[in-house]
Amino acid sequence: MNVSRSSVVRSPRDGRVLAEIQHSTPSEVEGALWDLRSAQTSWEALGVRARSHALAAFRDRLAVRRDDLADLVAAETGKPLVEAHVEVAFVIDMLGTYSRKSPKWFRERRVRPTLMSRHKSLSIWHSPYPVVGVITPWNFPLGLALLDAVPALAAGASVLIKPAEQTPLAVREAVRIWDEAVPSHPVLKALTGGPEVGAAVCEGVDYVQFTGSTRTGRMVAEAAARSLKPYGLELGGKDPMIVLADADLERAARAAVFGAMCNAGQMCTSVERVYVDTRVLEEFVHHVEAELRALRPLEADGSGDIGPLVSTEQARIVEEQIADAAQQGGDVRRFGSQIEAPSYVRPTLILRAHHAMRCMREETFGPLLPVVVFSSEDEAVKLANDSSYGLSASVWSRDKRRAKQVASRVHAGAVNVNDVFANIGATMLPQSGWNDSGVGARLGGAAALYKYCRAQAITVGRVDLPVEPHWFPYSKVRLRRVRWGLRVIQRRWRPSL
Ligand code: ADP
């Protein structure tokens, strides 16, 4: 059935209608896939150098339109203008690096042969998946779409983005900007709609890159597995912060509040659990409370620190976790006053938190800061690792060697020493979630391009023999030669002890 549905995009700040969007019908999804497949051939044939010039043109045009894009991101997510500009800046910075470096990264790779293949010259070519699907959530609508789309484009794939139904506007605008900047290569498209459009995109593309909840990620993985399709998943987190006794407590407290409340806590890498050495708890909490008291709710002009959550449903989930913590003996302290926006949740500190509470086990995605004490490094690591997630973490100490040593024991795809989610801005590093936090990695320099390619092994004879030593016909002479060959190999690889 091709019944078109539509929905409205509202500002979480005041419920104002920003746009009405049509949800793509199955035949529109099919049409987009067909167009992308057709356009991809010449995009790949262009070669990596010309593609990198196209990406640079895209970056320049995005930079010209940065204020409009930041306004759109701020309007559809309800986040403060500063955060929307940071999101746009990340994308432009990353585009700059990836467009400049991809010709150097994306080359035929020569490989040294082993003895058995010494008479061959070996290399690896990389052939992009023709259409990569990028399915994204609402918290960083522009950033999360383009951080995956750009390396795929650089590798020569075409990209179909399915933004979250609540926040499709900035991505739609970015696709328009692509069409203006690179008019002869329509290899970037976006389709709007909900889960049914997401599922149709998964079905039709050759590689699925999904960012979102662990629950939906599982469904995407199951769908991809049915058609033996590769996929990457960037899922939820329950990021721990370990504050050792010798940490700079003022900086750690600032970071805890920023890490938990940035984007109103709606980040997969938000600080969601704080573990503090019991000896410094009082001083740490004193600084945290001062920071929390200083937070200002978002104003109508986009100024202020902390905005409403994306939906009233999300606000309800967070309030339920707060109520659960209070019921289970938590010391719940709320800051600031309630503002008009229906999905606004006041910044909340929970002392005497423990692992039976929902806010310590389930992803919160809201402005909540639960604090637990520990009395030894081992206990801190054990508590930090007591989670099904493993996205990122932070360790705080004035002794950086000690902090790195503790970091090496934390089960997470990234650990930041004396900072929170600093790895997100470092787009040359891989971002990978362990356990329930994901499969594969995004970004990470050259690896980001190779991820969207199939490797093709190429062998070329260095000497053209009339027959290879192991071909037919099998004979005693051939057997002798093969056994002699084996002796040579054995001598080469004699035991090293
Ligand atoms: P949230 O982060 O709001 O919980 P989800 O993880 O469910 O959201 O959704 C993230 C993205 O995945 C959105 O773009 C959504 O439309 C899309 N989506 C939801 N369900 C599916 C599905 N079954 N298959 C593919 N995409 C889906």
Q: What is the per-residue burial (b if ≥16 Cβ within 10 Å, else e) of 376-411? A: ebeebbebbeebebbbbbbbbbeeeeebeebbebbb
Query: Does residue 191 contact residue 201 with C-beta atoms inside 8 Å?
Result: yes
Ligand 1 center from residue 481 Cα (angstroms)? 60
- Contact 199 CB / ligand 1 (< 6 Å): yes
Best residue among 216, 226, 266 to mutate for probing ligand 1, ranked by most atoms within 8 Å of CB = 216
- Contact 219 CB / ligand 1 (< 6 Å): yes
Work out the burial of residue 456: count CB atoms within 10 Å of its CB; fewer than 13 is exposed, 13-18 middle, 19 or more buried: exposed
In whole angstroms, give the CA distance from residue 266 to residue 282: 27
pLDDT value for 496:
64
Query: Does residue 171 contact residue 77 with C-beta atoms inside 8 Å?
Result: no
Give the β-pairing of 453-461 and 271-277: unpaired
- Region 292-297: mean pLDDT is 94
Ligand 1 center from residue 138 Cα (angstroms)? 9
* Distance, CA of 450 to chain centre: 16
Query: Does residue 481 contact residue 470 with C-beta atoms inside 8 Å?
Result: no
Q: What is the DSSP letter of 299?
A: P
* 495 has a pLDDT exceeding 80: no
* 298 has a pLDDT exceeding 70: yes
* Tokens matching residue 124: 């690896």
pLDDT value for 339:
78
Among the atoms of ligand 1, which is closest to the Cα of residue 310?
A: 3
Among the atoms of ligand 1, which is closest to the Cα of residue 213?
A: 6
- Region 296-309: mean pLDDT is 85
* 211 has a pLDDT exceeding 50: yes
Summary mean pLDDT of the chain:
94
- In tens, the pLDDT along 310-369 reads 889 999 999 999 999 999 999 999 998 877 778 899 999 999 999 999 999 999 999 999
Ligand 1 center from residue 76 Cα (angstroms)? 17
Q: Which of 202, 268, 359, 453 is catalytic?
A: 268
Which CA distances in Å does 435 have to 99, 226, 245, 338?
32, 21, 29, 37
Establish whether 268 is a catalytic residue. yes
Going by alpha carbons, the residue nearest to atom 24 of ligand 1 is 199
- Contact 213 CB / ligand 1 (< 6 Å): yes
Q: Which of 44, 76, 87, 234 is catalytic?
A: 234
Among the atoms of ligand 1, which is closest to the Cα of residue 314?
A: 3
- In tens, the pLDDT along 401-460 reads 999 999 999 999 999 999 999 999 899 999 999 999 999 999 999 999 999 999 999 999
- Contact 164 CB / ligand 1 (< 6 Å): yes
Best residue among 23, 134, 135 to mutate for probing ligand 1, ranked by most atoms within 8 Å of CB = 135
If you count them, how many residues does the chain have?
497
In whole angstroms, give the CA distance from residue 31 to residue 29: 5
Which residue bears the tokens 């500190």? 349
pLDDT value for 375:
97
pLDDT value for 148:
97
In whole angstroms, give the CA distance from residue 394 to residue 416: 5
Among the atoms of ligand 1, which is closest to the Cα of residue 163?
A: 14
Establish whether 234 is a catalytic residue. yes
pLDDT value for 1:
47
pLDDT value for 223:
96
- In tens, the pLDDT along 217-236 reads 999 999 999 999 999 999 99
The pTM of this model reads 0.92
pLDDT value for 488:
87
| pLDDT-derived band at 4, boundaries 50, 70, 90 | low
The residue that leads in pLDDT, 242 or 119, is 242
Among the atoms of ligand 1, which is closest to the Cα of residue 217?
A: 6
- Region 149-173: mean pLDDT is 97
- Contact 135 CB / ligand 1 (< 6 Å): yes
* Tokens matching residue 101: 């470096």
| pLDDT-derived band at 143, boundaries 50, 70, 90 | very high
Ligand 1 center from residue 127 Cα (angstroms)? 28
Ligand 1 center from residue 196 Cα (angstroms)? 9
- In tens, the pLDDT along 82-93 reads 999 999 999 999
pLDDT value for 133:
98
